[in-house]
Chains A and B, each alone.
Chain A
Amino acid sequence: DSGVTQTPKHLITATGQRVTLRCSPRSGDLSVYWYQQSLDQGLQFLIQYYNGEERAKGNILERFSAQQFPDLHSELNLSSLELGDSALYFCASSSRGGGASKGYTFGSGTRLTVV
Chain B
Amino acid sequence: DQQVKQNSPSLSVQEGRISILNCDYTNSMFDYFLWYKKYPAEGPTFLISISSIKDKNEDGRFTVFLNKSAKHLSLHIVPSQPGDSAVYFCAASASTHAGKSTFGDGTTLTVKP
A-B complex is real: yes
Which residue of chain A is the closest to B51 with respect to CB atoms? Answer: A101
Task: Kindly state the interface size class of chain A when it binds its partner.
Answer: 20 to 34
Task: Kindly state the interface size class of chain B when it binds its partner.
Answer: 20 to 34
Q: Is B99 a contact of A108 with CB atoms below 8 Å?
A: no
B41 CB within 8 Å of chain A: yes
Q: Is B100 a contact of A103 with CB atoms below 8 Å?
A: no
A-B contact count (CB 8 A): 77
Determine, out of B11-19, B64-72, B73-81, B88-96, the stretch whose residues face the partner at the interface: B88-96
Contact of A103 among B4, B36, B95 (CB under 8 A): B36
B105 CB within 8 Å of chain A: yes
Q: Is A50 a contact of B36 with CB atoms below 8 Å?
A: no
Contact of B99 among A4, A97, A105, A109 (CB under 8 A): A97
Q: Which of A104, A107, A108 has the most CB of B within 10 A?
A: A104
Q: Is A102 a contact of B49 with CB atoms below 8 Å?
A: yes
Q: Is B49 a contact of A108 with CB atoms below 8 Å?
A: no
Q: Is B105 a contact of A41 with CB atoms below 8 Å?
A: yes
- Chain A interface (Cβ < 8 Å from any Cβ of B): 2, 4, 31, 33, 35, 40-45, 48, 50, 55-56, 58, 90, 92, 94, 97-109
